[in-house]
């Protein structure tokens, strides 16, 4: 398969695509400015250079497979090298099965014309496996340098790596606090620090941080996990404020309950539980809209958002009643 596009060619194409996407999604007048997307919508994934950190299972794996079918050039990272290679092989098979660089998914009524356009574009390289542990000094930088040597830049970097332990307050330990915060928060912030100079030099590109609805407000058993995700939500907001004027998009992904190895630890019925494939579909739809926050499923996340408007006495009472804890 042919390699990724060169830097100059990719920069010219991406700048053109960004302008076209913004124009297409920009209604006129004051109302248009109010409801315009906060990020440049991403609809065409053909040849997009996407690095997913935390891709060996769950949401990260499902998102990688979905983007592979749509023709993205993928690099995947996780701690487990063996499992990571298996996911990379599955992505290559998914891309090959699509039959086109960007797959058949999402083609419009003008499908013959789109197929001709896609067939003329360079095919993505094979999915790259870059094992790393965000909690270890220097690993994200080494992986970044290896990827830049191959690609020359990034179009989207997704930080999905994280951990979760269901803990009540009396089960807190120093080890659990450090492990969770080191990976969920410090690791992600360090990862952003590692890739941001490249994005700023490009003057374009996007970051996506995977948070959680557990970061909206205090919930039982999310004693450390919830605060780590609340901090990540705040971090994403700050990034958007600083980076949007510099041409860098920032997406915040806040899932509800998704059936993953981490949520399998829960010993309670998880409302509005979704599969990783459903989560990946919701994320791709959010990218296409240019949303800052991509939260799902809406029937669950909107309820949690509304709860934050309640007085604390009412909030605590409703959460206790809903959870039985």
pLDDT tens per residue across span 16-39 = 555 555 545 455 555 567 789 999
Query: Can you say whether the dihedral through the CA atoms of 299, 301, 304, 309 is positive or negative?
Result: negative
CATH number at residue 192: 3.40.50.720
Residue 182 falls inside a structural domain: yes
Q: Tell me how far apart the alpha carbons of residues 320 and 135 are, in angstroms, rounded to a whole number.
A: 34
Q: Say what the pTM is.
A: 0.83
Q: Tell whether 209 is covered by a domain.
A: yes
Contacting residues for 18 by C-beta, under 8 A, at least 6 apart: 40, 204, 247
Within-domain flag for 131:
yes
Question: Could you report the per-residue pLDDT of 298-308, keeping only the tens digit for each?
Answer: 999 999 999 99
Q: Say if residue 70's pLDDT is above 50.
A: yes
Question: Quick one: average pLDDT of 260-272?
Answer: 86
Query: Positive or negative CA dihedral for 156, 157, 159, 160?
Result: positive
What is residue 102's predicted lDDT score, i.e. its pLDDT?
Answer: 37
pLDDT in tens, 73-93: 999 999 999 999 999 999 999
Q: How far apart are CA 206 and CA 56, in angstroms?
A: 21
Catalytic site residue from 164, 216, 225, 315: 225
Query: How many structural domains compose the chain?
Result: 1
Residue 51 in domain: yes
E runs forming strands in the chain: 49-53, 73-77, 128-129, 156-159, 206-210, 249-255, 293-296
**Has residue 189 been placed in a domain?**
yes
* Spatial distance between the Cα atoms of 59 and 39, rounded to a whole number of angstroms: 22
Question: Would residue 315 show up in a list of annotated catalytic residues for this protein?
Answer: no
Specify if 1 maps to a domain.
no
Residue 2 falls inside a structural domain: no
User: Is 302 contained in some domain?
Assistant: yes
Q: Print the domain residue range for 228.
A: 7-323
């Amino acid at each position: 398969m042919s390699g990724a596009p060169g830097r100059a060619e990719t920069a010219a194409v991406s700048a053109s695509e960004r302008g076209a996407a913004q124009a297409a999604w920009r209604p006129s007048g004051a109302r248009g400015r109010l409801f315009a997307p906060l990020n440049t919508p991403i609809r065409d994934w053909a040849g997009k250079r996407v690095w997913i950190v935390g891709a060996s299972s769950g949401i990260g794996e499902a998102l990688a497979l979905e983007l592979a079918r749509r023709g993205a050039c993928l690099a995947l990272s996780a701690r487990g090298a063996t499992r990571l290679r298996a996911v990379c092989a599955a992505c290559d098979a998914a891309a090959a099965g699509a039959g086109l660089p960007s797959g058949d998914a999402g083609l419009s009524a003008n499908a013959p014309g789109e197929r001709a356009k896609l067939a003329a574009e360079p095919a993505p390289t094979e999915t790259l496996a870059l094992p790393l542990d965000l909690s270890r000094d220097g690993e994200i930088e080494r992986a970044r340098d290896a990827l830049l040597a191959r690609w020359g830049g990034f179009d989207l970097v997704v930080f999905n790596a994280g951990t979760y332990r269901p803990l009540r307050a009396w089960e807190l330990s120093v080890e659990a606090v450090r492990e969770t915060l080191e990976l969920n928060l410090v690791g992600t912030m360090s990862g952003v620090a590692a890739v941001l100079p490249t994005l700023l030099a490009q003057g374009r590109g996007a970051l996506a941080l995977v948070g959680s609805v557990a970061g909206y407000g205090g919930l039982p058993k999310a004693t450390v996990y919830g605060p780590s995700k609340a901090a990540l939500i705040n971090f994403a907001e700050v990034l958007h404020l600083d980076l949007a004027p510099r041409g860098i998009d920032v997406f915040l992904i806040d899932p509800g309950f998704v059936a993953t190895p981490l949520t399998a630890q829960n010993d309670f019925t998880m409302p509005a539980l979704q599969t990783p494939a459903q989560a990946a579909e919701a994320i791709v739809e959010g990218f296409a809209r240019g949303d800052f926050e991509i939260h799902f499923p809406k029937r669950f996340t909107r309820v949690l958002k509304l709860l934050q408007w309640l007085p604390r006495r009412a909030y605590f009472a409703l959460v206790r009643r809903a959870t039985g804890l």
